[in-house]
Amino acid sequence: MFSLCFRFQVSDHHTPFSPWNRLWHNCLEPTLNHTLAVLSCFTTISVLIKMEEPLNPATQRVEPCDSSESVTAPETTVPKKKKGKRRERARKAKEVLTSWPSTSHDPVTQPPRSQQTQATQTDDGLLGKSTTAMGTQTKSTSTWDKSTQTPGARFARETRTVPATAPAPIQPPSDQLPQDQSPPSQPDSPEQPLETPGQTNTKSKRNANELFVLTWNIDGLDQEDMDERFPGLLKYLARIRPDIVLLQELISPIAEALDEIMKDYEFIMGNTSGYFTGIALRKSRVKLLQSNVVNYPTTEQGRNLLMTQLSFSGHPLWLMTSHLESCKDNSQERMNQLRRVWKRMREAPEDHTVIFGGDTNLRDREIKRLGGLPEGISDVWEVLGQPEDCRYTWDMVKNNNKDIPFPARLRFDRVYIRPGKKGANVNPVSMKLVGQDRLKCGRYTSDHWGILCEFSIDSGLS
């Protein structure tokens, strides 16, 4: 059509015998027609090839078809998360918790067990909440609690119904007791049974100058296999019978169950919601004078420092525990919290020995970044010559409670001591790890090993 129009235009302005007309007929018109024909062929061939190409699901969009006989396009395989695993753990946790002893008492409103005072402090040392009179026990909580946003903390906030009658205390048979943990002091006679939490064995007498402290992150957030792990915890406590127990990652149902079963221990909690720390004191050997909770001002995981002032065989002590900020990315916050712990230890009265034990989540390089331990504060593991069998308290090479894709072995749990400049001398004697016996379920009581430390107290009197 283009050639016809052009020819019409030329014929209007020039005669058929003009040079322009001859140029058009002899050269331009044949060339143009040939070019148009070639382009038309290429266009037709490309359309036919496109129609024959198969549908590629990765690059082409497939519209849904209403017909029942539609052809299903190939699907790309996407790994799906196991959504039912957490629900199954929650179901098992509820079954376990409902089988625990009655916890009808309220830890906040229950009458006091001893003349003591507990207060919540901010890190500047000012009392945030205090008791109105001596002899009134207040187990106060932080004014905020971000820890309830973490996975697993929801179990602590659920209302549970527990049976009205408590089962008989667990008596650990000698053939099922952990083989790696011998009792700190042997009974007077071979026939004498081991003590059980909630019972007091009057025949077994421990040296008044031997102090046994156990610190342990019991991983209360992990509800899987709790029907075996919680009795396993009770068996360890029954065999060891520590004077002071420092616990981390407690949740309310576990804390209430321990308080109900272990009648001969006095419990002080760092909180009552989410997950928190706690201290248990053996009443026959330790007297609680006061307790404080110091909130870390910049924590994003609801962490704090629980401190107790004690009297052990007439000797004044300060015992502290904490669960420092978790995860590698929170290194700076963790070091800030450790500085505050050290500050509190140094500020204690000179006639008091201060012992701190807890889950610090520390890496050795973080201690180096802080310039090492402050003057006057010692790492008990280092004082005892760095025993190799106590080096790793979070050992994912041996412990299979967590699915870690790499062989992590770290000394997360640590014990620090600041000896008093006056009064009795408190010296570390030994250290051993607990919780290293595998349960019938194939797992361990916790993903952390506990640390049992023995201290000797020398009054200096001949």
Pairing of strands 244-250, 210-217: parallel
Can you tell me whether residue 18 is helix, strand or coil? coil
* Angstrom distance (rounded) from CA 216 to CA 359: 8
286 neighbors 316 (Cβ within 8 angstroms): no
Which tokens is 131 given?
A: 């008791």
Q: Burial code of 425-442, b = ≥16 C-beta within 10 A, e = fewer?
A: ebebeebbbbbbbeeeee
Return the residue matching tokens 């290293």.
436
Residues 6+ apart with CB under 8 A from 445: 218, 229, 232, 233, 236, 435, 439
DSSP state of 24: I
User: What is d(CA 348, CA 343) in angstroms, rounded to the nearest whole number?
Assistant: 9
Catalytic residue flag (residue 359): yes
Place of tokens 């006057």: 376
Q: Annotate 34-101 with DSSP letters as a single string.
A: HHHHHHHHHHHHHHHHHHHSPP-TTTSPPPP--STTPPPPPPPP-----THHHHHHHHHHHHHHHTSP
Please report the DSSP string for 117-163 in residue order.
-EEEE-TTS-EEE--SSTT-------S--GGGGSTTTHHHHS-----
- Active-site residue (options: 359, 395, 413, 447): 359
Residue 264 DSSP class = T
Q: What is the 3-state secondary structure (H, E, C) of 163-225?
A: CCCCCCCCCCCHHHCCCCCCCCCCCCCCCCCCCCCCCCCCCCCCCCCEEEEEEEECCCCCCCC
Tokens of 192: 């004498």
Among the residues of 262-403, which ranges form H helices? 331-347, 364-369, 380-383
Known catalytic residues? 359
